[in-house]
Structure 1
Amino acid sequence: MALTEGRRASLARLAIVLALVALWELLSRTGAVNPRLLPSASEAFTTLAELLQRPKLRGDLLVTGSEVAVAFLLAVPAGAAIGLLIAESRYWGEVLRPLIFFLFSIPKSIFLPMFILAFGIGYAQKVGFGFFSTVFIVAMSTAAAVESVKPDHVTVARSFGATRGQIVSRIYLPSMMPVLLEALRIAMIFNFTGVMLAEMYASREGLGHAISNWGENFQMRQLFAGVVLVSLIAILFNEAVRWAERRCEHWRT
């Protein structure tokens, strides 16, 4: 049975990942790179399995997961509303679009001390910084997605007496969904990175805090195990969004 193009692409991605892991193992085992600086892949995966059995790491994962989820759930509707306002209103588009592009172009890390001063070192600071890191990309992506909707569809809906809410739910949302899903994947990267950065900079708990501690204490096996864990989380989310994109593919037509 012939493989579909999607399955071939998935197998190719898997092969590349396995090749990189094998290269990692080879570099460490042969001494091409100092094993103290680069533990082998097998050691990193073994250490990760051991760490996942510890209640402390599982608690850190729950903390980081809840921070990422709350920040994302707050940033997506807020960013979508701003993006819709920009795309639908010429006046607000001219007012807000330059400001959003200006704020988005500034490295977010320089604002982190302000969040610490405003919220202290705690849950609100990390959620707030994750929200701040995410809302601008959602707003810009939503505005672009709204502007990509065919005007004829909106005109026909209005001619049949559709309300603004019906136009948004039955015209904009289905047409925008494939574009929005791709944008949400990128937004989650910004969100996850923002939360991890906040945890590494100033935090008492969370996965970023644990990874920062391992790095500061030169616990290289634990550090690389943490990097592997973060990579696996990112891959799982990315594949989940890919699955959702395939389910919404028919809306592109």
Structure 2
Amino acid sequence: MNPWARRFIQAAIIAGFFLAWHLIVASHLVDPMLLPPPADVFARMFALLGDARSLHHLGVTLGEVTLAVVLVTPIGIALGLFLGENAYWGAAFRPLFYFMSSVPKSVFLPVFILALGMGFSQKVAFGMFQAIFVLVVAAIAAAQSVPVDYVRTARSFGATRAQIYRHVYLPAMLSVILEGLRLGMIFNITGVLFAEMYVSRAGLGYPIANWGMNFDIVSLLAGIVLASLVSIMVNEALRWYEYRVGAWRG
């Protein structure tokens, strides 16, 4: 399918969703107190973007998410490369990462709170915990997808292990790793927001939880839309870069 046609269809689906939302509210099928009009939600979202306190909460969340991904990415890639390249250790530890990828990580949040308290480090650590299993599994798959002949050829020409990693593994793995990083970022953002909603005094999840408890539906939906837009922008930026570095595979 033509990329422009695909984007047009995606935009039409989003527009149709908000149009259906507006029509449902306008026809009084749902109480406006439970589902306010989308125009009110977007107006409140732009008001939040102009509010210093809301921007502070958003900045805290972005800082936590950024630090978490900066810390977890090299750890996840290194672990995945090691387990994907070494048959013995891979056979021993791959099942653990596959198993943990399917376990809901939210059940571990109380452990992080007991161990690290309620501060910045706890939310960063929980975001890393949410993302690392997806990233390691993707890195394992990426390492195993590298043709063995490429590695043997590089070794036959006298390439060192560092040169093999840099010139063979990394180019062949990069697009798959970026796909795992893109998915891991979603888990990272979800984990940070969930930790902020559960117990926190700063971050976007904190006012979202308060709006929900105070039945401020307009602000609640505005916060959800804002968090969703941030996630979508991060996801699409990584998808674009993933396409750029993986174009040679086509």
TM-score by length of 1: 0.96
Distance 1:73 1:161, change over 3 A: same
Q: 1:101 Cα shift?
A: 2.2
Given the alignment, which residue of 187, 190, 197 partners 2:187?
A: 190
- Aligned-pair distance for 1:179? 1.2
Tell me the residue number matched to 2:205: 208
Asked if residue 104 in structure 1 is aligned to residue 118 in structure 2, the reply is no
| 1:11-47 Cα distance to aligned partner (Å, 9 max, x none) | 1111110110111111112211110000110000001
Structure 1 residue 243, shift from structure 2 partner: 1.5
Cα distance in 1 for residues equivalent to 2:246 and 2:133: 25
Q: Unpaired runs of 5+ in structure 1?
A: none
- Residue number among 221, 244, 247 corresponding to 1:247 in the alignment: 244
Deviations 1:62-117 (A, max 9, x none): 00000001111111111111111111112211221122223222211111001001
Which position in structure 2 is the counterpart of 1:54?
A: 51
Partner Cα separation in structure 2 for residue 69 and residue 230 of structure 1: 15
What number of residue pairs does the alignment pair up?
250
Q: For the residues of structure 1 that align with 2:111 and 2:247, how far apart are their CA atoms? A: 44
For residues 1-253 of structure 1, the aligned pairs below 5 Å read: 5-252=2-249
Q: Distance in 1 between matches of 2:215 and 2:35?
A: 11
Distance 1:83 1:140 in 2: 6
| One-letter amino acid of the counterpart of residue 81, structure 2 | L
* RMSD over equivalenced CA pairs, Å: 1.2
Structure 2 unaligned segments of length 5 or more: list them.
none
- Find the residue that maps to 2:30 and give its secondary structure: coil
